[in-house]
C-alpha cells in the first residue's frame, strides 16, 4: 500500500467513525435512509488542497450545461467568480449553502447566481461538500472551501458514472426542499465509465417532519 492510499483509508475511516458517533449521540439526526448499488463508475481519490482545488477549477471551467454546489464553508472568491462567469455564459448555476455562509450567498446572488440555504432551519447545519457538473461528474468528500482550506490535509472523491448522476439527484432533492423551483438532471446513463460499484447512503427527513 502506498503512503497516499494509506492516508486515504485512514481519512475515510475517520469520516465513517465521526458519522457513527454523531448518529449515536444525536439519534434524531437519523431520520430515514436511502441507498442503492450503482455499478460502472470511475473513481479517483484526491488528497490535499492542491489536487482537490485543481479539480474543482477544472470541473467548473469545463462545465457545459449545469453546475450544482452544496457546501458548508465557502469563502473562495476565485471559485465564486468562476461560478458567476458560467452563469453569465448561460449555464444553470445553483448553490446550496449552510446558514453560516450568507456573506458568500449574498455575493453570488447579486451577480445572478441562484442561491438557497439548506437546511432552511437556521438552528441546524449542512455539512455536505458536493459539486456536481452536467449531471454526470461529481466531487464529494471532506474538503471545505474556506480561505484556509487549500492548506488542509483532507480527501475528496471524484466520481464519473451512474453514481455521479445519483449524487446530482441528491442535490436536486435538497434544492427543492430549500425552495428551489427546478434543477437540471439527467437519466442515469447506461454507459459504464469504470469498474467500481458505489452505494450513495443518504439521510432524509420523514414525511411527517417536512412542513
Question: What confidence score (pLDDT) does residue 86 get?
Answer: 97
Name the residue with cell 442561491: 115
User: What pLDDT, on a 0 to 100 scale, did the predictor assign at position 189?
Assistant: 57
| Tens digit of pLDDT at every position of the chain (211 positions) | 444 445 555 555 554 444 444 444 444 444 444 567 777 788 899 999 999 999 999 999 999 999 999 998 999 999 999 999 999 999 999 999 998 889 999 999 999 999 999 877 777 777 889 999 998 899 999 898 878 877 888 899 999 988 888 888 889 988 998 999 887 776 655 556 666 666 565 555 544 343 3
Report long-range pairs for 78-81 (Cβ below 8 Å, ≥24 apart).
79/53, 79/145, 80/104, 80/107, 80/108
Q: pTM to 2 decimals?
A: 0.76
Task: Give the model's pLDDT for residue 55.
Answer: 96
CA distance 193 to 23: 34
| CB 181, CB 148: distance < 8 Å | no
18: how many CB neighbours lie within 10 A of its CB?
A: 12
Other CB atoms within 10 A of residue 31 CB: 12
Q: What is the pLDDT of residue 146?
A: 75
Q: How far apart are alpha carbons 192 and 78 in whole angstroms?
A: 33
Amino acid at each position: 500500500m502506498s503512503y497516499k492510499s494509506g492516508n486515504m483509508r485512514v481519512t475515510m475511516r475517520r469520516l465513517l467513525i465521526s458519522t457513527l458517533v454523531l448518529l449515536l449521540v444525536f439519534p434524531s439526526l437519523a431520520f430515514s435512509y436511502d441507498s442503492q448499488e450503482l455499478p460502472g463508475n470511475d473513481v479517483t481519490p484526491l488528497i490535499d488542497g492542491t489536487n482537490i482545488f485543481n479539480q474543482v477549477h477544472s470541473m467548473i471551467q469545463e462545465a457545459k450545461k449545469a453546475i450544482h454546489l452544496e457546501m458548508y464553508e465557502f469563502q473562495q472568491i476565485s471559485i465564486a467568480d468562476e461560478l458567476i462567469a458560467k452563469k453569465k455564459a448561460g449555464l444553470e448555476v445553483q448553490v446550496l449553502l449552510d446558514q453560516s455562509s450568507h456573506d458568500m450567498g449574498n455575493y453570488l446572488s447579486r451577480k445572478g447566481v441562484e442561491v438557497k440555504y439548506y437546511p432552511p432551519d437556521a438552528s441546524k447545519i449542512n455539512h455536505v461538500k458536493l459539486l456536481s457538473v452536467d449531471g454526470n461528474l461529481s466531487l464529494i468528500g471532506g474538503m471545505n472551501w474556506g480561505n484556509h482550506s487549500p492548506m488542509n490535509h483532507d480527501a475528496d472523491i471524484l466520481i464519473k458514472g451512474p453514481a455521479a448522476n445519483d449524487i446530482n439527484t441528491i442535490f436536486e432533492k435538497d434544492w427543492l426542499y430549500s425552495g428551489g423551483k427546478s434543477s437540471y438532471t439527467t437519466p442515469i446513463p447506461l454507459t459504464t465509465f469504470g469498474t467500481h460499484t458505489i452505494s450513495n447512503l443518504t439521510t432524509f427527513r420523514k414525511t411527517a417532519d417536512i412542513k
